[in-house]
Chain A
Amino acid sequence: AQTVTQSQPEMSVQEAETVTLSCTYDTSESDYYLFWYKQPPSRQMILVIRQEAYKQQNATENRFSVNFQKAAKSFSLKISDSQLGDAAMYFCAYSFYNQGGKLIFGQGTELSVKP
């Protein structure tokens, strides 16, 4: 089965601290892309970061970075220097190389940021 598991339904972090959100996935495909999306209360889905499965180097976007462990099928998101605006639901997702228009999402992790 093609699944994405986010084992932390809710997480909390103090402003300016670092938090890591976990994600594991299950697929027999070898070519795929991994994503983290953010959905704030406005419900607008925003792409945070993406990772190509064939790349060993972990992706980084400003305060956001990932720890991609292909053999373990793990794709965690680290948010450094957390800000109040980071509070949102975070979704892990992947798409296959030959089915790029189809994202398979996890159930999400709701992140709260305490001032």
Chain B
Amino acid sequence: KAGVTQTPRYLIKTRGQQVTLSCSPISGHRSVSWYQQTPGQGLQFLFEYFSETQRNKGNFPGRFSGRQFSNSRSEMNVSTLELGDSALYLCASSQRTSGAIMSHEQYFGPGTRLTVT
């Protein structure tokens, strides 16, 4: 099976702009989670989507949003970019049945490196 893919891999944006990142999960995986990784804050959970619904949300401002499509692909959007949004954004997928996670094992994509100038 193909792994989790993320596009684009690298992105440079200007403060105040908005950005959309894309994630395609492993075939058959219906849950997609997003994480932000920075040197200062480490790895922080952003949100999780399952069946096109947000199931969990981390402590991030409303500028960070996401969605999931019927084919389980997910997008993450950050509006009004700030310098502090520069980070590696990781997407992970896992198998999940309705109401529960099957294995809790998350498989990560290669990440999108976002630089805000």
Distance in angstroms from B6 CB to nearest chain A CB is 11
Cα distance A42–B88 when bound, in Å? 12
Contact count band on A: 20 to 34
The proximity string for B residues 90-117 relative to A, scoring 1 for CB distances below 8 Å and 0 otherwise, is 1010101000110011111011000000
Given contacts A43-B88, A43-B110, A95-B104, contact A100 B94 (CB under 8 A): yes
Interface of A is mostly: loop
From A35, A97, A102, contact of B45 by CB (8 A): A102
Given contacts A45-B90, A99-B56, A100-B94, contact A105 B106 (CB under 8 A): no
Whether B56 pairs with A102 at a CB distance below 8 angstroms is yes
Cβ-based interface call for A103 (8 A): yes
Cα distance A50–B103 when bound, in Å? 10
Interface of B is mostly: strand
- Of A99, A102, A105, most buried by chain B (CB within 10 Å of CB) is A102
Distance in angstroms from B21 CB to nearest chain A CB is 15
Whether B111 pairs with A43 at a CB distance below 8 angstroms is yes
Whether A102 pairs with B108 at a CB distance below 8 angstroms is no
From B33, B42, B96, B111, contact of A102 by CB (8 A): B33
Whether A47 pairs with B56 at a CB distance below 8 angstroms is no
